[in-house]
Amino acid sequence: MDVLLRADKLTKHYGSVVALNSATFDVTDGVTGLLGSNGAGKSTAIKLFLGLIKPTSGSMQVLGVETTHNISVRARLGYMPEHDCLPNNVAATEFLTHMAQVSGLPPAQARSRAADTLRHVGLFEERYRPIGGYSTGMKQRVKLAQALVHDPALILLDEPTAGLDPGGREEMLDLVRKTHSEFGISLMLSSHLMGDVERTCDRIIVLEDGHVVQQGAVTGFTEELETLFVEVEDRRSEFVAALQRLNVNATTEDSAVMIVGASEETYDLIARALAESEAPLRRIGPRRHALTELFTGAPAAGGAK
Protein backbone atom coordinates (compact mmCIF):
# COMPACT_ATOMS: atom_id res chain seq x y z
CA MET A 1 0.00 0.00 0.00
CA ASP A 2 1.31 3.40 -0.99
CA VAL A 3 1.84 5.93 1.74
CA LEU A 4 0.16 9.11 0.48
CA LEU A 5 0.72 11.29 3.50
CA ARG A 6 3.18 10.82 6.31
CA ALA A 7 3.42 12.98 9.41
CA ASP A 8 6.48 12.52 11.55
CA LYS A 9 6.41 14.22 14.96
CA LEU A 10 4.46 17.00 13.27
CA THR A 11 3.95 19.97 15.60
CA LYS A 12 2.22 23.28 15.08
CA HIS A 13 2.00 26.08 17.61
CA TYR A 14 -0.12 29.20 17.22
CA GLY A 15 1.51 31.46 19.76
CA SER A 16 1.05 29.64 23.04
CA VAL A 17 -1.67 27.36 21.64
CA VAL A 18 -0.51 23.92 20.57
CA ALA A 19 -2.72 22.89 17.66
CA LEU A 20 -0.82 19.75 16.76
CA ASN A 21 1.59 18.06 19.16
CA SER A 22 4.16 15.64 17.78
CA ALA A 23 1.62 13.84 15.63
CA THR A 24 2.94 10.75 13.83
CA PHE A 25 0.72 8.90 11.39
CA ASP A 26 0.47 7.61 7.83
CA VAL A 27 -2.35 7.96 5.36
CA THR A 28 -2.53 5.18 2.77
CA ASP A 29 -4.75 4.33 -0.21
CA GLY A 30 -8.45 4.34 0.54
CA VAL A 31 -10.64 6.56 2.64
CA THR A 32 -9.12 7.78 5.89
CA GLY A 33 -11.07 9.56 8.58
CA LEU A 34 -9.52 12.20 10.79
CA LEU A 35 -11.75 12.17 13.83
CA GLY A 36 -11.71 14.64 16.66
CA SER A 37 -13.73 17.29 18.44
CA ASN A 38 -13.46 20.97 17.54
CA GLY A 39 -9.95 22.24 18.16
CA ALA A 40 -8.41 18.77 18.14
CA GLY A 41 -6.06 19.70 15.30
CA LYS A 42 -7.83 18.23 12.26
CA SER A 43 -7.89 21.39 10.17
CA THR A 44 -4.35 22.23 11.21
CA ALA A 45 -3.14 18.84 9.96
CA ILE A 46 -4.92 19.31 6.63
CA LYS A 47 -3.54 22.83 6.18
CA LEU A 48 -0.03 21.61 6.94
CA PHE A 49 -0.23 18.93 4.25
CA LEU A 50 -1.50 21.49 1.75
CA GLY A 51 1.37 23.85 2.54
CA LEU A 52 -1.01 26.60 3.66
CA ILE A 53 0.86 26.83 6.96
CA LYS A 54 4.34 25.79 8.02
CA PRO A 55 4.97 23.32 10.84
CA THR A 56 6.68 24.52 14.00
CA SER A 57 8.69 21.30 14.03
CA GLY A 58 8.61 17.79 12.63
CA SER A 59 8.41 16.71 9.03
CA MET A 60 5.88 15.42 6.56
CA GLN A 61 5.70 13.67 3.22
CA VAL A 62 3.05 14.39 0.62
CA LEU A 63 2.72 11.84 -2.21
CA GLY A 64 6.21 10.62 -1.47
CA VAL A 65 7.81 14.06 -1.54
CA GLU A 66 9.68 15.09 1.59
CA THR A 67 8.47 18.61 2.03
CA THR A 68 7.38 21.38 4.24
CA HIS A 69 6.63 23.69 1.34
CA ASN A 70 6.38 22.25 -2.13
CA ILE A 71 4.25 23.85 -4.78
CA SER A 72 4.31 21.35 -7.63
CA VAL A 73 2.97 18.45 -5.53
CA ARG A 74 -0.28 20.38 -5.11
CA ALA A 75 -1.10 19.69 -8.77
CA ARG A 76 -1.96 16.15 -7.59
CA LEU A 77 -3.88 17.15 -4.46
CA GLY A 78 -7.48 18.22 -4.11
CA TYR A 79 -8.87 20.19 -1.19
CA MET A 80 -12.43 20.78 -0.15
CA PRO A 81 -12.58 23.43 2.59
CA GLU A 82 -15.16 23.47 5.35
CA HIS A 83 -16.22 27.07 4.77
CA ASP A 84 -17.84 28.63 1.69
CA CYS A 85 -15.28 29.19 -1.04
CA LEU A 86 -17.24 29.73 -4.25
CA PRO A 87 -17.84 32.81 -6.41
CA ASN A 88 -21.45 33.89 -6.84
CA ASN A 89 -21.64 35.34 -10.31
CA VAL A 90 -19.94 32.59 -12.33
CA ALA A 91 -21.50 29.42 -13.75
CA ALA A 92 -20.26 26.14 -12.26
CA THR A 93 -18.85 24.95 -15.57
CA GLU A 94 -16.86 28.18 -16.07
CA PHE A 95 -15.56 28.03 -12.54
CA LEU A 96 -14.45 24.41 -12.81
CA THR A 97 -12.77 24.95 -16.17
CA HIS A 98 -10.82 27.83 -14.68
CA MET A 99 -9.88 25.87 -11.56
CA ALA A 100 -8.68 22.92 -13.66
CA GLN A 101 -6.39 25.28 -15.56
CA VAL A 102 -5.05 26.75 -12.34
CA SER A 103 -4.16 23.17 -11.44
CA GLY A 104 -2.18 22.99 -14.67
CA LEU A 105 -4.54 21.44 -17.23
CA PRO A 106 -4.57 22.88 -20.78
CA PRO A 107 -7.79 24.76 -21.68
CA ALA A 108 -9.44 22.12 -23.91
CA GLN A 109 -8.82 19.30 -21.44
CA ALA A 110 -9.92 21.55 -18.57
CA ARG A 111 -13.25 22.17 -20.29
CA SER A 112 -14.02 18.50 -20.87
CA ARG A 113 -12.87 17.52 -17.37
CA ALA A 114 -15.14 20.23 -15.93
CA ALA A 115 -18.18 18.84 -17.75
CA ASP A 116 -17.33 15.24 -16.79
CA THR A 117 -16.72 16.11 -13.16
CA LEU A 118 -20.00 18.00 -12.81
CA ARG A 119 -21.81 15.00 -14.22
CA HIS A 120 -20.10 12.72 -11.72
CA VAL A 121 -21.17 14.85 -8.75
CA GLY A 122 -24.71 15.06 -10.15
CA LEU A 123 -24.82 18.69 -11.27
CA PHE A 124 -25.02 18.33 -15.02
CA GLU A 125 -28.38 20.04 -15.61
CA GLU A 126 -27.59 23.13 -13.57
CA ARG A 127 -24.05 23.71 -14.76
CA TYR A 128 -24.70 26.90 -16.74
CA ARG A 129 -26.43 28.68 -13.87
CA PRO A 130 -24.49 31.09 -11.64
CA ILE A 131 -23.30 29.37 -8.46
CA GLY A 132 -24.83 32.10 -6.29
CA GLY A 133 -28.29 30.62 -6.95
CA TYR A 134 -27.40 27.09 -5.84
CA SER A 135 -28.68 25.40 -2.69
CA THR A 136 -26.30 24.45 0.13
CA GLY A 137 -26.20 20.85 -1.07
CA MET A 138 -25.44 21.87 -4.64
CA LYS A 139 -22.69 24.23 -3.51
CA GLN A 140 -21.22 21.38 -1.50
CA ARG A 141 -21.11 19.32 -4.71
CA VAL A 142 -19.36 22.14 -6.57
CA LYS A 143 -16.85 22.29 -3.73
CA LEU A 144 -16.18 18.58 -4.13
CA ALA A 145 -16.09 18.94 -7.93
CA GLN A 146 -13.39 21.63 -7.83
CA ALA A 147 -11.27 19.30 -5.68
CA LEU A 148 -11.83 16.51 -8.20
CA VAL A 149 -11.62 18.33 -11.53
CA HIS A 150 -7.88 17.93 -12.04
CA ASP A 151 -7.99 14.21 -11.19
CA PRO A 152 -5.85 14.34 -8.05
CA ALA A 153 -4.21 11.33 -6.39
CA LEU A 154 -5.62 12.36 -3.02
CA ILE A 155 -8.39 14.67 -1.87
CA LEU A 156 -8.42 16.27 1.57
CA LEU A 157 -11.90 17.14 2.82
CA ASP A 158 -12.39 19.36 5.85
CA GLU A 159 -15.73 18.56 7.51
CA PRO A 160 -17.55 17.72 4.24
CA THR A 161 -20.89 17.24 5.97
CA ALA A 162 -20.87 20.43 8.04
CA GLY A 163 -24.07 22.41 7.72
CA LEU A 164 -25.96 19.79 5.72
CA ASP A 165 -29.36 18.37 6.59
CA PRO A 166 -29.62 14.56 7.10
CA GLY A 167 -30.51 13.96 3.44
CA GLY A 168 -27.67 16.13 2.18
CA ARG A 169 -25.31 14.43 4.60
CA GLU A 170 -26.19 10.98 3.26
CA GLU A 171 -25.70 12.14 -0.33
CA MET A 172 -22.37 13.73 0.48
CA LEU A 173 -21.08 10.61 2.24
CA ASP A 174 -22.24 8.45 -0.68
CA LEU A 175 -20.36 10.74 -3.03
CA VAL A 176 -17.23 10.46 -0.90
CA ARG A 177 -17.51 6.68 -0.91
CA LYS A 178 -18.12 6.66 -4.67
CA THR A 179 -15.11 8.90 -5.29
CA HIS A 180 -12.98 6.13 -3.90
CA SER A 181 -14.80 3.00 -5.02
CA GLU A 182 -15.66 4.12 -8.57
CA PHE A 183 -13.13 6.84 -9.35
CA GLY A 184 -10.20 5.22 -7.58
CA ILE A 185 -9.17 8.40 -5.81
CA SER A 186 -8.03 8.25 -2.19
CA LEU A 187 -9.50 10.63 0.33
CA MET A 188 -8.85 11.87 3.80
CA LEU A 189 -11.79 13.52 5.50
CA SER A 190 -12.02 15.20 8.84
CA SER A 191 -15.11 14.99 10.98
CA HIS A 192 -16.24 15.27 14.56
CA LEU A 193 -18.92 12.65 13.98
CA MET A 194 -18.12 9.00 14.56
CA GLY A 195 -21.09 8.05 12.41
CA ASP A 196 -19.75 9.79 9.30
CA VAL A 197 -16.35 8.23 9.69
CA GLU A 198 -17.75 4.78 10.45
CA ARG A 199 -19.89 4.83 7.31
CA THR A 200 -17.34 6.09 4.83
CA CYS A 201 -13.84 5.35 6.02
CA ASP A 202 -11.57 2.33 5.83
CA ARG A 203 -9.11 3.68 8.33
CA ILE A 204 -9.36 6.17 11.15
CA ILE A 205 -7.02 8.49 12.98
CA VAL A 206 -8.33 9.96 16.21
CA LEU A 207 -6.97 13.31 17.32
CA GLU A 208 -7.44 14.87 20.72
CA ASP A 209 -5.87 18.14 21.81
CA GLY A 210 -3.32 17.86 19.01
CA HIS A 211 -2.28 14.30 19.91
CA VAL A 212 -2.91 11.18 17.87
CA VAL A 213 -4.93 9.12 20.34
CA GLN A 214 -5.66 6.14 18.13
CA GLN A 215 -5.29 4.95 14.59
CA GLY A 216 -6.32 1.81 12.77
CA ALA A 217 -8.97 0.13 10.65
CA VAL A 218 -12.55 1.21 11.27
CA THR A 219 -13.76 -2.37 11.78
CA GLY A 220 -11.32 -2.77 14.66
CA PHE A 221 -12.85 0.22 16.38
CA THR A 222 -16.42 -0.91 16.18
CA GLU A 223 -15.63 -4.45 17.43
CA GLU A 224 -13.63 -3.24 20.31
CA LEU A 225 -15.94 -0.51 21.42
CA GLU A 226 -19.33 -2.07 20.87
CA THR A 227 -21.74 -0.97 23.52
CA LEU A 228 -25.21 -2.42 23.83
CA PHE A 229 -28.14 -0.44 24.94
CA VAL A 230 -30.95 -2.37 26.62
CA GLU A 231 -34.21 -0.88 27.79
CA VAL A 232 -36.71 -2.86 29.84
CA GLU A 233 -40.31 -2.00 30.67
CA ASP A 234 -40.01 -3.02 34.28
CA ARG A 235 -37.93 -4.96 36.82
CA ARG A 236 -34.75 -3.21 35.80
CA SER A 237 -32.85 -3.80 39.04
CA GLU A 238 -33.66 -7.53 38.85
CA PHE A 239 -32.37 -7.56 35.28
CA VAL A 240 -29.11 -5.84 36.28
CA ALA A 241 -28.69 -8.25 39.17
CA ALA A 242 -29.22 -11.18 36.79
CA LEU A 243 -26.59 -9.75 34.43
CA GLN A 244 -24.12 -9.41 37.27
CA ARG A 245 -24.68 -13.03 38.32
CA LEU A 246 -23.69 -13.95 34.73
CA ASN A 247 -20.54 -11.80 34.95
CA VAL A 248 -21.78 -9.28 32.40
CA ASN A 249 -20.53 -5.79 33.18
CA ALA A 250 -23.57 -3.53 33.10
CA THR A 251 -24.19 0.03 34.13
CA THR A 252 -27.43 1.96 34.32
CA GLU A 253 -27.93 5.23 32.59
CA ASP A 254 -31.25 7.07 32.76
CA SER A 255 -33.84 4.42 31.91
CA ALA A 256 -31.40 2.19 30.00
CA VAL A 257 -28.86 -0.48 30.83
CA MET A 258 -25.52 -0.16 29.07
CA ILE A 259 -23.27 -3.12 28.38
CA VAL A 260 -19.74 -2.21 27.32
CA GLY A 261 -17.52 -4.53 25.31
CA ALA A 262 -20.31 -6.71 24.02
CA SER A 263 -19.47 -9.70 21.85
CA GLU A 264 -21.45 -12.55 20.22
CA GLU A 265 -21.93 -14.51 23.45
CA THR A 266 -23.05 -11.43 25.35
CA TYR A 267 -26.32 -11.53 23.41
CA ASP A 268 -26.99 -15.03 24.75
CA LEU A 269 -26.20 -13.94 28.28
CA ILE A 270 -28.53 -10.95 27.94
CA ALA A 271 -31.29 -13.26 26.76
CA ARG A 272 -30.72 -15.52 29.80
CA ALA A 273 -30.69 -12.55 32.16
CA LEU A 274 -33.93 -11.25 30.68
CA ALA A 275 -35.52 -14.65 31.13
CA GLU A 276 -34.24 -15.09 34.69
CA SER A 277 -35.29 -11.62 35.81
CA GLU A 278 -38.59 -11.81 33.91
CA ALA A 279 -37.99 -8.24 32.75
CA PRO A 280 -40.08 -7.27 29.69
CA LEU A 281 -37.71 -6.09 26.95
CA ARG A 282 -38.60 -2.82 25.25
CA ARG A 283 -35.63 -2.46 22.93
CA ILE A 284 -32.03 -3.50 22.45
CA GLY A 285 -29.41 -2.15 20.07
CA PRO A 286 -25.87 -1.01 19.54
CA ARG A 287 -25.18 2.43 20.86
CA ARG A 288 -23.17 4.99 18.92
CA HIS A 289 -20.22 6.27 20.85
CA ALA A 290 -20.03 9.84 21.83
CA LEU A 291 -16.55 11.05 21.06
CA THR A 292 -15.67 11.76 24.66
CA GLU A 293 -16.53 8.19 25.55
CA LEU A 294 -14.39 6.90 22.71
CA PHE A 295 -11.41 8.85 23.95
CA THR A 296 -11.67 8.16 27.65
CA GLY A 297 -12.74 4.55 27.34
CA ALA A 298 -10.41 3.70 24.48
CA PRO A 299 -7.22 1.70 24.81
CA ALA A 300 -3.89 3.42 24.31
CA ALA A 301 -2.75 4.68 20.92
CA GLY A 302 -2.25 1.97 18.35
CA GLY A 303 -4.29 -0.51 20.31
CA ALA A 304 -6.75 -1.02 17.49
CA LYS A 305 -4.21 -1.66 14.77
Min CB(135)–another protein separation in Å? 17
Residue 69 binding another protein, by CB under 8 A = yes
Report if residue 50 touches another protein, rule: CB under 8 A.
yes
Which residues pair with residue 284 across a beta bridge? 230
Q: Does 56 bind another protein (CB under 8 A)?
A: no
SS (H, E, C) 79-134: EECCCCCCCCCCEHHHHHHHHHHHCCCCHHHHHHHHHHHHHHCCCCCCCCCEHHHC
| Site size with another protein, rule: CB under 8 A | 43
The burial class, CB within 10 Å (0-12 / 13-18 / 19+), for 166 is exposed
Q: Does 81 engage in binding with another protein (CB under 8 A)?
A: yes
- Reported as type and span, the H/E element at residue 293 is helix 291-297
Contact residue for another protein among 2, 66, 84, 223 (CB under 8 A): 84
15 scored as a contact of another protein (CB under 8 A): no
Q: Which of 106, 264, 265, 300 binds another protein (CB under 8 A)?
A: 106
- Residue 18, classified by CB atoms within 10 Å of its CB into exposed (0-12), middle (13-18) or buried (19+), is middle
Residue 146 vs 200, nearer CB to another protein: 146
Stretch that binds another protein, among 44-52, 206-214, 241-249, 295-303 (CB under 8 A): 44-52
Please say whether the beta carbons of 2 and 184 come within 8 A. Answer: no
Closer CB to another protein, residue 152 or residue 240?
152
- Residue 203 as a binder of another protein (CB under 8 A): the answer is no
3-state DSSP call for residue 145? helix
Q: Select 132 or 302, whichever has its Cβ closest to another protein.
A: 132
| 79 binds another protein per the rule CB under 8 A | yes
* Interface of this chain with another protein, residues 144 to 173, rule: CB under 8 A: 146, 150-151
What's the 3-state SS for 19-62? Answer: EEEEEEEEEECCEEEEECCCCCCHHHHHHHHHCCCCCCEEEEEE
- The per-residue b/e assignment along 250-259, b for 16 or more CB within 10 angstroms, e otherwise, is beeeeebbbb
Looking only at residues 218 through 277 of this chain, which bind another protein when binding is defined by CB under 8 A? none
Is residue 17 close enough to count as binding another protein by CB under 8 A?
Answer: no
| Interaction site with another protein (CB under 8 A) | 50-54, 69, 71-75, 77, 79, 81, 83-91, 94, 98-99, 101-106, 109, 113, 116, 120, 130, 146, 150-151, 182-184
